[in-house]
Amino acid sequence: MKLKPYSLGALLLTLLASATLSSVLVPVPALAAPVATPVPVQHTADVIGRFLVGFYGDHGPSLRDRQTRVSQLLKDKQKESLGADVLLCAQNEPQSIAVGPVTVAQAAGVGWATVTTHWEEGLTDTFTAYVRLDSEPIRVDDVICAG
């Protein structure tokens, strides 16, 4: 059977027309209601600051906070750092702790503050505590010791 050159085009148009017509005649289900996508938490500098002050308290985080308010990264670091407290960058309990102003980097998704520990004889030490802006619940994600 030899087809004429225009017959392929006519066949294609016929197929397209029938496909379009059949898609119009097929019942279309009602559109589903839009699904609300949860808005990721974005902790502010104020929220992070209040969290860190409560977390560190006067002498360091409580056992409960160490278990529930710390990232897995820090828990793993603590397992590897026998004899040193990775959350305080120290081996002992400080006399007092002060949390400095919080900086937030939206693009990096993280906020941080310098934490100062006060020791006997007027000695101090500092480290930086990091919190992910989207952590839920809020928790300390990492700690970098100053020296």
Residues 111-129 have pLDDT tens digits of 999 999 999 999 999 999 9
pLDDT over 70 (residue 15): no
pLDDT over 60 (residue 133): yes
Q: What share of the chain is helix, strand, coil (3-state, %, to 5)?
A: 35, 25, 40
Q: What's the pLDDT at 13?
A: 45
CB atoms under 10 Å from CB of 139, counted, come to 17
Q: What's the pLDDT at 80?
A: 94
The long-range contacts involving 124-132, CB below 8 angstroms and separated by at least 24 positions, are 125/89, 125/90, 127/88, 127/89, 129/52, 129/56, 129/99, 131/43, 131/48, 131/51, 131/52, 132/71
Q: Are 126 and 94 in contact (CB under 8 A)?
A: no
Pick 83 or 59 by higher pLDDT.
Answer: 59
Q: Are 61 and 74 in contact (CB under 8 A)?
A: no
What's this model's pTM, rounded to 2 decimal places? 0.73
Residues 33-80 have pLDDT tens digits of 666 666 677 999 999 999 999 999 999 999 999 999 999 999 999 999
